[in-house]
Structure 1
Amino acid sequence: MIQELIKAFLLVFIAEMGDKTQILAMAFATKYPAKKVLAGIFIGCLLNHGLAVLLGSSVSRLIPLNTVQIIAGFAFVVFALWTIKPESDEDEDESNKSKFGPVITVATAFFIGELGDKTQLAAITLATDAMYPLIILVGTVTGMVVTGGLGIIVGKKLGDKIPEFVIKIIAASVFMLFGITKLYNTMPKEYLEMKYILILAAVVSLTVFLLLKSSLARRREGKESLLVKTSRELYNYYHQAREKVEDICLGENKCRKCQGQSCVIGYTKLLIDNGMEGIESVELDDGGEYFGKDYDRELVLETLRSTLVLLKDDPGNINYRNLHKIRKNLEIILFGQNIENMCNWQQYVRDLEAVDKDITEKLIAGIN
């Protein structure tokens, strides 16, 4: 059993190092959070290899592999065009609020990309004479996830240094290259005549031109996407908030001994540090001594105000989940309690006024 697991893992790991699926992982990692890309890789490969292991060699009899490869080729061309599609602020805002969009997108790409590929064929071959087919599935999927994870690391490093527009072009080029290569290698020879190649090239080129035209116009006008704007604002917020929070605590002479993350400010520092690193926040353990300490309330008020400036217009943005936890911590210091849900600005202000109108008026002063 262990031998089958190791054999399946190594076969896929070696086969996929530097292959298209690892490059796909790099491309997706420049656009989506690493956890969602990894989840998508896992789901897509689990379904794909699960199908291979379940059906064994019968897959090739049910659907001709050549047909599967042609479908996959066209799918990659569509992915390339979709990648450079200009997005309105409404589209980007909706994608921010979608929790599963990136996962499904990545899973679909990997599922289609692996149809008829060598790793799926390897899974089929290994499963036909395996004593433990499920172990073969575990080994092949693990191999795909590990190679994809390495691709994600590289993609994230690139994403930190390359402008968003360039990343889109690179990712689209990767998808297009894979699609055209698949079509060239699998299409019937009668469709590889120059006239058909020129027609396809003309259609794709015209589509790319029309899709890029809007994006280039936005760049000339100096407009930035909502995603870039949000990232920039969060970056500035976290760095400014970190400096303020450092000074909110009045030192151990006021609270005897530093409680670290068990203190509301210590936990807020952790949230800010995680936000700066792009890490999902952790939950606060309710067993510690958080409140009743002396803090610089003016700095608390300033920090909460700068937090609310970001949250005011779009409190439901999933990129702001960390900010809401910071907001609640700061509210507890100022008001003695927090507002659990901030659905809209007007209702939020009314909820704060119901707790303490004077502090609320001072807090929202200067917030447009």
Structure 2
Amino acid sequence: MSYFNFQIFLISFGIIFLAELGDKTQLMVITLAAKEKSSFKIGLATSIGISLVVIIGIIIGFFLNLFIPNFWIKLAGIIIFLIFGIYTLIMVKKNDENLDEKQENDELISKKSRFNISNTFLFALSSIFIMEFGDKTQLMTISLTANYSLPIEVGLGAILALSSLCFLGAYLGELISKKVKKRWIDIAGGTLFIIVGIIMVFEMIFTL
């Protein structure tokens, strides 16, 4: 009889939560909520979108474990986590040198308003799905699932971590909308959408 492995659940939750805290996904959620002024709607939509990405990652990781020797899976997992760890530390240093809090807050406000979509719920869901598909969150989920062969624990940990960040970001976005004029939110949102679009183009080119 198998039991739920809380240790793996907590490992998955902790790794994913820390990896995504303050990342571009959470900044997107904050901006969407600032534009829409509805923290629950945006929190729910983005949680669903990112959960779909996690589930796809779980499926990929599970099948990798069936067809690829465990040694290579573990080696790939080590490389992935080392790369993300080094990258995170480099970005922390760079942010300390080049960014002050005001600049970061300007970026937080700047993601949604480039497109005036009537159905904000679907827009938020699809935006997060597109941003996170193939991103480090999904790669980490694939690696954790392949290494531990516990898709339920890994999946629930990842989904709970990401949903918590989505609702936290949505709440912060709603607070921002009460303090910042809509005009500035729109200007900042359009700017950041363009930046994110350019980043995604380069990411696509480098993965070819």
Please confirm whether the aligned pair reaches a TM-score higher than 0.5, indicating the same fold: yes
2:178 is aligned with what amino acid? D
Alpha-carbon displacement from aligned partner over 1:139-198 (angstroms, at most 9, x marks no partner):
111111112222222211210021212111212222222221232344269xxxxxxxxx
Q: 1:163 aligns with which of 178, 181, 187?
A: 181
Which one has a larger percent helix, Structure 1 or Structure 2?
2
1:13 is aligned with what amino acid? F
Identity of aligned residues (%): 25
Q: 1:83 aligns with which of 113, 137, 148?
A: 113
| 3-state SS of paired residue (2:148) | coil
**TM-score, with length taken from structure 2:** 0.68
Match of 2:170 in 1: 152
Cα offset, 1:58, TM superposition? 6.5
Gaps of 5+ in 2: 65-109
Q: 1:23 aligns with which of 23, 27, 51?
A: 27
Cα offset, 1:7, TM superposition? 0.7
Match of 2:12 in 1: 8
Question: In 2, Cα distance between the equivalents of 1:177 and 1:43?
Answer: 24
Q: 1:49 aligns with which of 30, 49, 54?
A: 54
Q: CA RMSD in A?
A: 2.5
Question: In 2, Cα distance between the equivalents of 1:188 and 1:48?
Answer: 21
Match of 2:39 in 1: 34
| 3-state SS of paired residue (1:160) | helix
Structure 1 runs (4+) greater than 6 angstroms displaced:
none
Question: In 2, Cα distance between the equivalents of 1:175 and 1:57?
Answer: 34
Q: 2:134 aligns with which of 113, 116, 122?
A: 116
Gaps of 5+ in 1: 60-79, 96-100, 190-368
| 3-state SS of paired residue (1:187) | helix
Match of 2:121 in 1: 103
Residues paired across the two proteins, number? 157
Matches within 5 A, 1:280-359: none
**TM-score, with length taken from structure 1:** 0.39
Question: In 1, Cα distance between the equivalents of 2:51 and 2:206?
Answer: 31
Match of 1:208 in 2: none
Distance 1:42 1:81, change over 3 A: closer
| 3-state SS of paired residue (2:22) | coil
1:128 is aligned with what amino acid? A
Contact 1:42 1:145 in 2 (8 A): yes
1:183 is aligned with what amino acid? V
Question: In 2, Cα distance between the equivalents of 1:142 and 1:82?
Answer: 24
Alpha-carbon displacement from aligned partner over 1:113-153 (angstroms, at most 9, x marks no partner):
11111110000001113242012111111111112222222
Match of 1:366 in 2: none
Contact 2:32 2:112 in 1 (8 A): no
| 3-state SS of paired residue (1:39) | helix
Distance 1:28 1:185, change over 3 A: same
Distance 1:131 1:56, change over 3 A: closer
1:49 is aligned with what amino acid? V
Question: In 1, Cα distance between the equivalents of 2:112 and 2:24?
Answer: 18
